[in-house]
C-alpha cells in the first residue's frame, strides 16, 4: 500500500489556478501531483481539484485544516480518498494542465479558429464551389421529382478565383479587395508603384506645387503694381 495521500478539494474560488493552488498546498508538505478540474469547452476552472501528497499524514493534516475553510467567500470542502476507492492514480490525474501552458481545450479551439479563418487557395475555393454546385443540382433534381421547376444559380463561371486590377498611381484613392478576389497591379502603371518611384512622384508633385505658388505670388505683385500706378495717374 502506498504511503501517499490523495485529497479531493471542492468549492474552490474560480480565480484560483494550478500555480497558486500548488504554492498554497506546499505550505503543509510536498505535493507530488495536482489536477484542477477544467471545462473541456472553455478551459475555465470548475471549482474542484485532486491533490496528492508524498505522505498520507500530511494529507490528513490538510484535510483537518482546510475542511470548511472560508476562502474568498467560498466554504472549501476537503475529503481524503481511501486507497481502495482509487482504482488508478493515473486516471485521477489524467489530463492535468501544465501551469506554464494554456489548457488543451483552449489550444484545440485556437487551432480550429485558425483553420477556419485561414486564407484558402484557389484549389480549395474550386473544391468548395464544386461541392456547392453538386448540392444545388441534387436539390434541383429532388424538386423536379416533386413537380416543382426551379432555376438554380450557375457557378460554372466562378470556377476560377476572380482577379481585380488595381491602379496604385493615385495616392489619394485606396480600394479594398472583395473577399475571395485576388488583387493584381495594373500593367500600365505597375512601374510607378515601387517605393523609389513613389518618392520621386511625391518630389515632382511638391516641385510643381512650389512653382504654382511662386507664379501666383509674382502675378499678385504685378497686379498690385498696376493698381498702384493706375491710382497715381488718376490722382494727377
Find the mean pLDDT for residues 102-131.
85
Query: How many independent structural domains does the chain possess?
Result: 4
With contact defined as beta carbons under 8 Å apart, do 5 and 25 qualify? no
Q: Residue 93: which CATH number?
A: 3.30.70.330
Report pLDDT for 28: 94
Report pLDDT for 8: 93
Least confident of 51-65, 114-128, 183-197: 183-197
Find the mean pLDDT for residues 102-115.
82
More confident residue, 149 or 183: 149
Task: Judge if 49 and 77 occupy the same domain.
Answer: yes
**DSSP 3-state of 164:** strand
pLDDT at 100 over 60: yes
More confident residue, 165 or 219: 219
Report pLDDT for 31: 93
Most confident of 67-81, 142-156, 187-201: 67-81
Task: Judge if 210 and 228 occupy the same domain.
Answer: yes
> Which residue's C-alpha cell is 471542492?
10
**In angstroms, what is the C-alpha Rg of the chain?**
38
pLDDT at 119 over 70: yes
Task: Judge if 188 and 217 occupy the same domain.
Answer: no
| Joined grid coordinates for residue 157 | 463561371
Query: In the chain, what percentage of residues exceed pLDDT 90?
Result: 24
pLDDT at 85 over 80: no
Find the mean pLDDT for residues 128-141.
88
With contact defined as beta carbons under 8 Å apart, do 177 and 164 qualify? yes
Task: Judge if 61 and 154 occupy the same domain.
Answer: no
pLDDT at 210 over 80: no
Task: Judge if 55 and 139 occupy the same domain.
Answer: no
Task: Judge if 128 and 68 occupy the same domain.
Answer: no
Task: Judge if 108 and 133 occupy the same domain.
Answer: no
Report pLDDT for 63: 94
Task: Judge if 34 and 81 occupy the same domain.
Answer: yes
Find the mean pLDDT for residues 72-87.
83
pTM exceeds cut of 0.75: no
Measured in residues, the chain has a length of 236
Task: Judge if 94 and 180 occupy the same domain.
Answer: no
> How would you classify the pairing of strands 182-185 and 163-166?
parallel
pLDDT at 181 over 70: no
Task: Judge if 106 and 35 occupy the same domain.
Answer: yes
With contact defined as beta carbons under 8 Å apart, do 51 and 43 qualify? no
Report pLDDT for 155: 47
| Domain span holding position 134 | 122-158
For 166-177, the pLDDT digits (tens) are: 666 655 556 666
Query: In the chain, what percentage of residues exceed pLDDT 70?
Result: 71
Task: Judge if 34 and 83 occupy the same domain.
Answer: yes
Question: Residue 222 — very low, low, confident or very high, per pLDDT cuts 50/70/90?
Answer: confident
Report pLDDT for 86: 65
Question: Residue 180 — very low, low, confident or very high, per pLDDT cuts 50/70/90?
Answer: low
Amino acid at each position: 500500500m502506498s504511503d501517499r495521500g490523495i485529497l479531493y478539494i471542492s468549492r474552490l474560488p474560480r480565480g484560483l489556478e494550478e500555480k497558486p493552488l500548488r504554492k498554497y498546498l506546499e505550505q503543509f508538505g510536498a505535493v507530488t501531483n495536482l489536477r484542477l478540474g477544467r471545462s473541456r469547452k472553455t478551459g475555465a476552472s470548475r471549482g474542484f481539484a485532486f491533490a496528492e501528497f508524498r505522505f498520507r499524514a500530511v494529507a490528513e493534516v490538510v484535510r483537518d485544516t482546510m475542511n470548511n475553510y472560508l476562502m474568498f467567500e467560498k466554504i472549501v470542502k476537503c475529503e481524503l480518498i481511501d486507497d481502495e476507492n482509487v482504482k488508478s492514480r493515473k486516471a485521477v490525474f489524467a489530463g492535468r494542465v501544465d501551469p506554464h501552458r494554456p489548457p488543451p481545450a483552449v489550444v484545440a479551439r485556437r487551432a480550429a479558429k485558425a483553420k477556419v479563418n485561414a486564407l484558402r487557395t484557389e484549389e480549395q475555393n474550386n473544391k468548395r464551389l464544386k461541392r456547392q454546385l453538386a448540392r444545388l443540382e441534387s436539390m434541383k433534381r429532388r424538386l423536379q421529382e416533386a413537380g416543382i421547376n426551379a432555376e438554380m444559380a450557375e457557378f460554372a463561371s466562378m470556377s476560377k478565383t476572380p482577379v481585380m486590377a488595381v491602379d496604385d498611381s493615385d495616392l489619394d484613392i485606396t480600394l479594398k479587395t472583395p473577399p475571395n478576389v485576388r488583387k493584381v497591379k495594373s500593367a500600365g502603371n505597375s512601374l510607378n508603384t515601387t517605393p523609389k518611384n513613389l518618392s520621386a512622384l511625391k518630389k515632382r508633385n511638391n516641385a510643381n506645387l512650389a512653382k504654382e505658388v511662386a507664379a501666383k505670388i509674382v502675378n499678385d505683385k504685378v497686379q498690385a503694381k498696376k493698381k498702384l500706378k493706375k491710382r497715381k495717374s488718376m490722382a494727377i
